[in-house]
Structure 1
Amino acid sequence: MSTKKVLVALSGGVDSSVAVHLLRQQGYEVEGIILEFSPVHKAAVQAAQVIADQLDVKLHVVECHKEFEQNVILPFCREYQAGRTPNPCIFCNPTTKFGIICQFAKEHGFDKIATGHYARVEHLEDGIAVLKKSACIERDQSYMLYRLTQEQLSMLILPLEGLEKTEVRQIARDLGLASADAPDSQEICWLPDGDYASFIEQKLGKSKSGDFISPDGTVCGKHKGLLHYTVGQRKRLGIALGYPVFIKEIDPELNRIYLARTGEEYADGVLLTNCVIQPNPLLSKDNPIAHANVKVRSRASDAPATITLLEDGTAKVIFDTPQRAPAPGQSCVIYDGITVLGGGYISKQLEL
């Protein structure tokens, strides 16, 4: 083994705790790091210190409130304000979490970093790092990592690949770790109550009310502000038309929300912006059209589709079978089997 010193992203959760233990078993010298993203995360730092003490590892605490605010919180708020549905973890991972941890590792003599994510990185002889799905498909988090750079992936070890969550918790129990029964982390880590709408309005001001537009094109009610809604939403609309409806489209320019009848949720395809394509033989600038699988949200099933990379950096994705309510702002991630080819942010739905 050429690499002996690994920096592990440690939290108070069970996954990163067990990652430390597994790396030690493999002969690595391990230290931990916890990023304090905001004042809310001070509790996470304390929980990580408890685990570090139990495992007898040195813990580095790095405060990065400014970076998190600029790279994650403000883009998250602005996306919702514009009628899109962002995923904050996808913003955070390349720009902040992995960016800061990789930089710290290089500056302090660590050759590799590790996290408790459920995914796999395969390191090829030509130096290319290939991101793949976890063997535990139910827990797979490759969707959240698709925007990592090649430099970040090349430094990354994922010790939990191949394990089920029940196995990870049992290892933690056997070790007597305080994290053994800790709940899984939440998506919006800086909002313990999950009330993102109130948070955004405190940050950017009150969201303006506007019109709901019925399937027949007429105004049928008032919405309370675009950030309270998402494409595909059916409940809590406050609209009674005598038949079920869902949100088909959110128009930030006119401040309107367009409704459609239930059953019309399906889109033929999507347009992607800010695409990231990992090195691969199937899809590239030289080979811009490919048939592969895509996921239009983190918990969606794989959907076969034809992907066309366009010269302006966008991509057109046409599904073999229409998919339900792909939401602008969410990511569409492209897979060749279990291998991540890349992806991008959904800009709009496409109809053939």
Structure 2
Amino acid sequence: MRVIAAMSGGVDSAVAAALAVEAGHDVTGVHLALSQQRQRQRLRSGSRGCCSVEDADDARRVAAELGIPFYVWDMADRFAEDVVDDFVAEYAAGRTPNPCLRCNEKIKFAAVLDRAQALGFDAVVTGHHARLAGGELRRSVDTAKDQSYVLGVLTAGQLAGAVFPLGSMTKERVREIAAERGYAVATKPDSHDICFIPDGDTRGFLDRRLGAAPGPVVDAATGAVVGEHTGTHGFTIGQRKGLGIAVGDQRPRYVLGIEPVSRTVTVGTADLAGVDEVRTGAPTWTGPAPSLPFGAVVQLRAHGAGVPCTVTGDDDGGLVLVLHEVQRGVAPGQSAVLYEPDAERGDKVLGQAAVARAARRTPVA
């Protein structure tokens, strides 16, 4: 196949490109320039950020060692609109988005795949830790590094144009392969946090974009104002730290609700923070849509554990997930990724839908 290897400059994409060459594919390396301020992003800061000029240089060196063509595709404007602006708008609306999922959906497997296919390429190779088996998206064998959650938004058509060479190996083995080949990126730290917020200060980033919008922090049990905030965008459902509140007892409080219009953040004790019903927007499926109702395992956060659930539909085209275990920290805007419940096939991704709201069906004990 003629394939584009998306080369971020990290060890995963370097080894994925190398394995694609080794498999006999006709490989062209591409680094995505996603920052609109690239001159300010010369250097990374440890494991924070990505897509810097330094990363492009690292990717270029690996491509040279592989003897493959290498190009930089400028997608900064598309990334700013589809990922960064979406991220800001979601927080402004009181939701908690996942920008990595949005980047996979809108950039890597939409804009990049579309351009690649228009140029006559068959697929895009990435360093994601996930597997494709018979066209089905599955978890990586390295569960600690599994990235199937942020790929759950992809459609069957997009998966047909994707290649994930690393899904059958551990991250340790990936680094070993890079070291065996003498790649300088073999010991390069993994990227963490949000790539376009390299200092890790999400609240500061949103403050600069949205400005101050002060309002009250209210205790759910008493209705009393227990604090003030400078913007609801500084909070997410389930948050415990950094609330800036003063309450009359020592019990920890969690964010239970965010109302951007009234600028109210509601907090409460742990017994009020659990939910067992999640309602979503319209789903996307990685294959044929399952017949409702059906049983599944749902993952509600990028690094969360799977929870058994029963899936039905609602009148608005969304899903209703009845959780078999009470969960905390289920925030609107997050992706609810559904997996096959069968013990032998529980690593298969069925699809996903964005959380619209969550509630408690069963009485609080």
CA distance in 1, matches of 2:192, 2:329: 23
The count of corresponding residues between Structure 1 and Structure 2 is 339
State the 1:42 CA deviation: 4.1
Which string of whole-angstrom CA distances, capped at 9 and with x for unpartnered residues, describes residues 72-124 of structure 1?
1111001112221111011111111221221222122211221000111223x
The residue type equivalent to 2:114 in the other structure is: Q
Structure-to-structure mapping, 1:30-179, within 5 angstroms: 30-38=27-35, 39-40=37-38, 41-43=51-53, 44-123=55-134, 129-179=135-185
Change (3 A) 1:293 1:315: same
How far is the alpha carbon of 1:197 from its aligned partner? 2.4
- Share of identical aligned residues, percent? 35
Query: What's the secondary structure of 1:31's corresponding residue?
Result: strand
Matching residue of 2:47: none
What's the CA shift string for 1:6-27, capped at 9, x where partnerless?
2111121000111112122222
| 1:184 has 2:205 as partner | no
Matched, 1:301 2:312: no
Cα offset, 1:53, TM superposition: 2.0
CA contact (8 A) 1:270 1:346 kept: yes
Q: Distance in 1 between matches of 2:327 and 2:14?
A: 38
- Counterparts of 2:309 and 2:52 in 1: how far apart (Å)? 43
1:248 matched to 2:245: no
- Residues in 2 aligned to 1:119 and 1:309: alpha-carbon distance in whole angstroms: 28
Which of 211, 231, 235 is equivalent to 1:225?
A: 231
Summarize deviations over 1:188-224 as a string: whole Å, max 9, x none: 11121022222223333x1311111113112122112
Q: Which secondary structure does the structure 2 equivalent of 1:138 belong to?
A: coil
Q: Aligned equivalents of 2:4 and 2:75: distance in 1? A: 17
Equivalent residue of 1:347, what SS? strand
Alignment match, 1:203: 209
Matched, 1:292 2:296: yes
What amino acid does structure 2 have at the position aligned with 1:103?
Answer: D
TM-score (norm 1): 0.92
| Corresponding residue of 1:126 | none
Deviation at 1:274, TM superposition (A): 3.6
- 2:339 equivalent in structure 1: 335
Residue pair 1:10, 1:17 contacting (<8 A) in 2 also: yes
Displacement of 1:278 = 2.8
Which string of whole-angstrom CA distances, capped at 9 and with x for unpartnered residues, describes residues 286-317 of structure 1? x2211110001011111000111234221111
Higher strand fraction: Structure 1 or Structure 2? Answer: 1
Within the candidate set 15, 30, 37, 1:18 is matched to 15
Q: Is the 8 A contact 1:267 1:324 kept in 2?
A: yes
Which stretch shows the higher mean deviation, 229-238 or 193-202?
A: 193-202
Q: Counterparts of 1:309 and 1:57 in 2: how far apart (Å)?
A: 48
Helix, strand or coil for the counterpart of 2:196? Answer: coil
Tell me, yes or no, if the aligned pair for 2:97 and 2:333 is still in contact at 8 Å: yes
Secondary structure of 1:21's aligned partner: helix
- Alpha carbons of structure 1 residues 180 and 45: separation in structure 2 relative to 1, 3 Å: same
Q: Kindly report the root-mean-square deviation, in angstroms, between the aligned alpha carbons of the 2 structures.
A: 1.5
Distance in structure 1 (CA, Å) of the matches to 2:294 and 2:314: 12
Q: Mark the runs of 5 or more structure 1 residues left unpaired by the alignment.
A: 124-128
Whether the 8 Å CA contact 1:207–1:226 is kept in 2: the answer is no
The answer on 1:323 being equivalent to 2:327 is yes
